[in-house]
Amino acid sequence: MGLGAAATLLLTAPAIGTVLLLEPGSPAAAAGASSCGLAGAGSHLYTGEQLTEQMWTDANSIVQTTTQAGLPPRAAVIAVATSLQEARLLPITHGDLAGPDSLGMYQQRDSWGPASVRLDPAGTTTLFLARLVTLPAWQHLPLTRAAQAVQSSAAGGAYAAWEGDATRIVNTLQGARPPRPRARTHAR
């Protein structure tokens, strides 16, 4: 899937959980927003923020890096949720009061590695994943516990709020479709 302009609008149909990628301003986008009950909502990420082309590109980098490392989609979901919380999927080039040296999509400190690696989406994701996979049974930990164990954030409980969004983003980028309900058969 290309990450051009057609991938800048993401809508969710709450009744059926379908994710649609539509070109902003197109007739399909207007029809999609209307049929999903989002008429007038504009281009919004699930949380109400606009998901820009840069955010899609960075999310795709996370998914590709995770796949290339041979890790399951759960690793990508944890990584995307962490980046959403830390930097809204953007390679932040400045720190904050808590960490003036914090950089990149995960706001990693100097101890994580060189600034050039922390500012590179694939490089910073590799650093994140290297720590994630050292956690015992990381695949089975609640997302917040896994992310917090890697990040040691002052707001460690905040990662859980992004799990649904991260799952939808990862599924969209991997071309996954929601599972179809199986027809029940009755044995007689």
pLDDT attached to residue 97 = 75
Residue with the two structure tokens 């919380």: 85
* Annotated domain spans of the chain: 5-35, 53-173
Tokens of 65: 């890096």
Low-confidence ranges of the chain (pLDDT < 50): 1-48, 179, 181-182, 184, 188
Sign, Cα dihedral of 116, 132, 161, 96: negative
pLDDT of residue 49: 53
Structure tokens at 92: 């932040």
